[in-house]
Chains A and B, each alone.
Chain A
Amino acid sequence: MNTPIGLTVGPVLYHWPRDTLTSFYARMADGPAQRIVLGESVCSRRRELKLDDWLGLARELSQSGKQVVLATQALVESEADLRLMRRQAEQGEFLVEAGDASALHMLEGREFLLSPHINIYSRQSLQFHADLGASGWSAPVELSLASVARINAAQNPVLDPQGRAVQTEVFGFGRLPLAFSARCFTARHHHLSKDECEFRCLGDADGLLVQSTDAEDFLVLNGIQTQSAALQCLLGEGAALRSAGVSRLRLSPCSQSFDEVLALFDACLNHGADAAASLAALQALPLPGRLANGYAHGQAGMKWQAEPEMQA
């Protein structure tokens, strides 16, 4: 039997209303993902849930048997951002996932995780972060599986200070977080300033679509974050993931069909379901965009190619 690939529910990257978040995580409590990353990692102005609310949610999920991780904000600008991060770093209940070097500074010396926004492109860099206490890394989204394998080889993994192998996670499903800016593009589109944005992003459950002039879906505006319009999907790549030393996949929440997506990944990667049939079932779901997997294969991230496992 293949070694299982753990599933991580990434932080909700969109500005969902409080009730939507609450019911989403109630469903996740019963879902197949073992690890759930909580918190607002994109915009400091989004306050549907405050840190104490997130911690309450974290305790509930923890009681349901989930491993809960708190995400820090990826782009830090103000002292208020740092204050929130300090509170996250100082609570001792849950692991924290560092989103930038400010978080690394607050977390080093204890066990923590690395978000995909920490730039790790070589084994030397991963070793440096492991020495600080990182027990797992989520690879930057643009890395190929070949590079991931080189950085943290299955046969010769990077070790943390306790001598444990650093766990590799890759971005397995969802719109790819591609860039951050000081500017809020959603507010800009609505001709509003960032300070008085009227929280228009509450209306974009999966972000605000950007198309090229010839009407191809291209990107998605999510406040200060820019994402791909296509959804990364590594559903059929179990063998390639395992040989690259990947032990976890991050699935990034979308507003519809996410429960079904999780079930399909679990069935396909860990319970022997047929890859082609699983992919066909996933593509039949009402997802917000088409699929892509180019990054995994060392190509442009927007490319999609049918997996070798399915061509066989």
Chain B
Amino acid sequence: MALGLLKIMSAILPRKPQLVCPAGSLRALQLAVNAGADAVYMGLKDATNARNFAGLNFDIDQAREGVAHAHARGAQVLMALNTFAKAEEPERWFRAVDAAVQMGADALICADTAVLGYAHQAHPALRLHLSVQASATSYEAIEFYREHFGIQRAVLPRVLTLSHVGHLLRHTAVEIEVFGFGSLCVMVEGRCALSSYVTGQSPNNAGVCSPPSAVRWVERTQGVQARLGDVLIDEYAKDEPRGYPTLCKGRFLVEGQRDYAIEDPTSLNSMALLPELMEMGIAAIKIEGRQRSASYVEQVTRVWRHAIDACATQGARFAVQPEWTHVLAQHAEGQQHTLGAYSRPWR
């Protein structure tokens, strides 16, 4: 009887998506779990993950400690192993798969067919999520990875409109995770060679875009130049706020007009779409930002925890609270928010 009621309830009420939060450090992991993350994702201290920055990420002991902290509080730890194994040393990536099993990760997030193949064969019980870096934008692509590697979840690239996401969900048996908040990659993830074109380092297997080692700030009488490699990415007047020279977010000349030719520096915030996303049956919502501070992770996690819980009970009556927007706005790049590809203006 109780079970029957539960079944009816779950058929009526939208499934509550898992809140998946970034952990660039053990401290961030702990704060995210304590603030209500259902799962955290982390990576090792090397090129095997797509946020390979100095001072970030985990060694195996920290990873074990993080897993213990999360598991004690009912949260999961997902390991991002989402770069592509380099021809020169694929073993590094395969060893990282083994490390995920050793540390007790609940799932591995991968993009590379070589890595997925190794994981599927060597550790058949290990749960696999398809990384956004695999750029699977259709149910056909997702089915391809499910048939070959048994993936149980796919993270969608930030390129689909809400109606495309809905269509995809109706045609796949795989759990779908979407991005909720964070820095916006305007290019399809895993398919962008802009950074290697300028610096020689590929985000796809070095795990870093517009690497700090290639950045130069040049003081000039009229202001400051931000250069990446040999390319002038942006130029700021003395009193103008400066951004990190991620190359797709610079100001360039097109037909004589100087502007953000590719993308304005904005953040994605899809909170207003929560009722629709939950109605569609999204399995998880991902917060971007392993490179951000532990306090960013804590505050953003808390706000999203409140929002998802509220939406689960309020459904279509859900409204984004002003205090949530205020907290998120403080953490947005360029203090601007956009619905990104989910909304019509991108069409």
Contact = CB atoms under 8 A, between A and B. Distances in A.
B164 A213 contact: no
A194 interface: yes
A312 B248 CA distance: 39
B84 interface: yes
A185 interface: yes
A78 B113 CA distance: 24
Contacts of A141: 193
A150 B253 contact: no
Interface in A90-138: 100-102, 104-106, 108, 117, 119-125, 128-129
A81 B167 CA distance: 13
Contacts of B202: 142
A124 B118 contact: yes
Contacts of B275: none
Given A105-B141, A122-B90, A179 B192 contact: yes
B141 A124 contact: no
Interface string B222-249: 0000000111111100000000000010
A185 B252 CA distance: 13
Given A119-B204, A122-B114, A212 B252 contact: yes
B299 interface: no
A75 B137 contact: yes
A294 B193 contact: no
A128 B161 CA distance: 31
Contacts of A211: 252-254
B162 to A, nearest CB: 12
A52 interface: no
A145 B141 CA distance: 29
Interface in A207-246: 208-216, 218-219, 221, 226, 228
A189 interface: yes
Contacts of B145: 101
Contacts of B143: 105
B124 interface: no
Contacts of B84: 119, 121-122, 125
B138 interface: yes
Chain B interface, >50% SS class: mixed
Contacts of B199: 300
Nearest to A147: B87
Contacts of B232: 212-214, 216
Interface in A177-192: 178-183, 185, 189
B231 A122 contact: no
Given A181-B188, A294-B200, A105 B144 contact: yes
A76 interface: yes
Nearest to B134: A101
B315 interface: no
Interface residues of B, number: 69
B251 A182 contact: no
Nearest to B259: A189
Contact of A221 (B138, B205, B254): B254
Given A128-B114, A213-B234, A178 B193 contact: yes
Contacts of B164: 77-78
A149 B264 CA distance: 39
Interface stretch (B26-34, B276-284, B301-309, B339-347): B339-347
A194 B196 contact: no
Contact of A125 (B85, B159, B191): B85
Interface string A151-190: 1000000000000000000000000101111110100010
Interface in B288-313: none
Contacts of A142: 193, 196-197, 202, 204
Contacts of B191: 74-75, 117, 119, 179-180
Given A75-B188, A104-B144, A182 B346 contact: yes
B136 A101 contact: yes
Given A178-B193, A193-B347, A121 B255 contact: no
A301 B229 CA distance: 11
Interface in B73-124: 84-88, 90, 111-114, 117-118
A150 B87 contact: yes
B329 interface: no
A203 B200 CA distance: 32
Contacts of B198: 300-302
A4 interface: no
15 contacts: A77-B160, A77-B164, A78-B167, A100-B137, A108-B144, A120-B113, A122-B90, A125-B112, A147-B88, A178-B194, A179-B191, A183-B346, A210-B252, A300-B198, A301-B196
Interface of A: 74-79, 81-82, 85, 100-102, 104-106, 108, 117, 119-125, 128-129, 140-143, 147, 150-151, 176, 178-183, 185, 189, 193-195, 208-216, 218-219, 221, 226, 228, 294-295, 298-303
Question: What 10 A-B pairs are tightest by C-beta distance, nearest first?
Answer: A182-B159, A101-B141, A105-B144, A124-B114, A102-B140, A301-B197, A121-B84, A300-B200, A179-B192, A125-B114
